[in-house]
Amino acid sequence: MVVSSRTLDALKTIGLNKYERNLWAALLSRGASTAGELSDISNVPRSRCYDVLESLSDRGFVILQPGKPMKYIAVNPREALERAKKKINEEAVELSEKIERLSKSDAIKELERIHKDNIKTLRPEDVTGALKGRYAMLQQMETMFKKAKKSIKLVMTESAMQEIFENHSGLMKKVSDAGVRIQVAMPVTKQNEDVVKELSKFAQVRDVSDVEHIERMLGRFCSVDGNEFMMGLTDDKTHPTQDVAFWTQSQHAASQVFEPMFDLVWHHAKSVK
């Protein structure tokens, strides 16, 4: 069986594990085969072939041919990908509906009560953690914005604010309309003037581009209500999957450490008209 590592890596990106990739490639090279034959040419242990082939069948890559011994038929690659995509979409819709039903059930009330009763007993250092990946950071920021009652304070690089605006501008406008004061300190350039214009409709924006030494302080910093704080630990050049952030519900970290720094930046930054 001759399959390039590049092709196998491509199959990995769609969620096929090593055994699934090797078995499907082996089956494609034969068209139809038994588990024993596929084990010999794929280097997959025979004891694992049956469950892996069944998994491939469930996902639309393989057709089972009953008999003794059981045979497996390879689905045309393009058709297999279409089947797999359709199944994933169907499963996603089904799971989304289940989550929606759960969110409206008595079960969620019980879960919220358990969390509320026990979160009060935690120390600030217990409600502290690391977030891995840009997606996790944006999700946590969304949760923080939803809970905001008084203020949201952001110190952001140009690209970081662009990303936040693309993902959360609607939510930010909603909480602003509800009375939350949003302050954003960021560089303002010709490249982001459209974002700044839209952002200024519901937030106060100040430009730090020409403030000496302030540029060195920029990153991804967010404080909500002086109670919750998030700080990016990687720069804009880091791949989104490798981003890391620190998050805490420590009032001390938010109001006594970050907010005085924010006030200093805000004081020296220029108002955006």
- The total number of residues shown for the chain amounts to 273
What mean pLDDT comes out for the span 60-78? 90
> Which position has the higher pLDDT, 273 or 132?
132
Q: Please, what are the domains in the chain?
A: 5-83 (1.10.10.10), 127-271 (3.30.870.10)
Question: Would you state the pLDDT for residue 137?
Answer: 92
What mean pLDDT comes out for the span 159-172? 93
What mean pLDDT comes out for the span 170-179? 96
Q: What is the DSSP string of 55-122?
A: HHHHTTSEEEE-SSS-EEEEPPHHHHHHHHHHHHHHHHHHHHHHHHHHHTSHHHHHHHHHHHHHHTT-
Using an 8 Å Cβ cutoff, are 64 and 70 in contact?
yes
Question: Would you state the pLDDT for residue 172?
Answer: 96
> Which position has the higher pLDDT, 145 or 66?
145
Using an 8 Å Cβ cutoff, are 80 and 72 in contact?
no
- Average pLDDT along the chain: 88
Token pair 């089947």 is found at 83
Question: Would you state the pLDDT for residue 255?
Answer: 86
Question: Would you state the pLDDT for residue 107?
Answer: 92
What residues contact residue 230 under an 8 Å CB cut-off, 6+ apart?
A: 131, 137, 140, 141, 144, 220, 221, 222, 223, 245, 246, 247, 248
What mean pLDDT comes out for the span 83-98? 92
- Give per-residue burial for 40-56: e unless 16+ CB within 10 Å, then b: ebbebeeeebeebbebb
Please report how many Cα atoms fall inside a 13 Å half-sphere around the Cα of residue 5, on the Cβ side: 0
What percentage of the chain reaches a pLDDT higher than 70?
A: 92
What mean pLDDT comes out for the span 35-40? 91
What mean pLDDT comes out for the span 66-91? 91
Question: Would you state the pLDDT for residue 121?
Answer: 60
Nearest to 62 by CA among 19, 93, 95, 32: 32
Q: Tens of pLDDT along 189-199? A: 888 889 999 99
